[in-house]
A and B are shown apart, each in its own frame.
Chain A
């Protein structure tokens, strides 16, 4: 069965420092992969997605992610974190070939210290 693991429940990063959030997936075929962000009390916003092609994908708000098939990973990165990036981040994999059913990881909460 498809699954997503986000190993870090909570991460604290200093403002201006770089960020990497880890995501590992289990899926038999070429996966559809996504990163979403959720601010407190809000819905989820799509940061970026990978379907095929270039393994380094750019998203909104200065985020990028790299798909590594050999490691079954899709880690999210940002070179310089802003206080407004504090939120919960979810990695998701498409659970079928059309990517119409998403399986989410349990999320990583990002805190930004000044």
Chain B
């Protein structure tokens, strides 16, 4: 099992560009989430999903879109990147009564 796979690992964007951060899991987990991690802020929840076709907003959803067309994939879209979105992004998945398994992260810089 690969676990939770995030691509790319590093990305530099110009302000106003769009991009999609990919997240895939091969554990047949129903629940998936996206977090951003900034120094001194811990991890903040962006969006989460409780199953295919079902998503909900977290603490900091503005500027991000998600969709969940399959159990395996949960992409995060930045429609118009801003410098404030410079961060490390983590995707995670879980099954019932277990903790989340995290991917290795995507380090995004918006210039």
Chain A residues engaging chain B, CB cutoff 8 angstroms? 9, 34, 36, 42-46, 49, 51, 90, 92, 95, 98, 100-107
Contact = CB atoms under 8 A, between A and B. Distances in A.
Interface of B: 31, 33, 35, 40-45, 48, 50, 56, 58-59, 90, 92, 94, 96-105
Contacts of A36: 99, 102
A62 to B, nearest CB: 18
User: Which of B45, B92, B100 has the most CB atoms of chain A within a 10 A radius of its CB?
Assistant: B100
A102 B100 CA distance: 9
B97 A51 contact: yes
Contact of A101 (B33, B41, B98, B101): B33
B45 A103 contact: yes
Please name the 6 residue pairs, one residue from A and one from B, whose CB atoms are nearest each other, closest first.
Answer: A46-B99, A106-B42, A43-B102, A104-B43, A44-B102, A104-B42
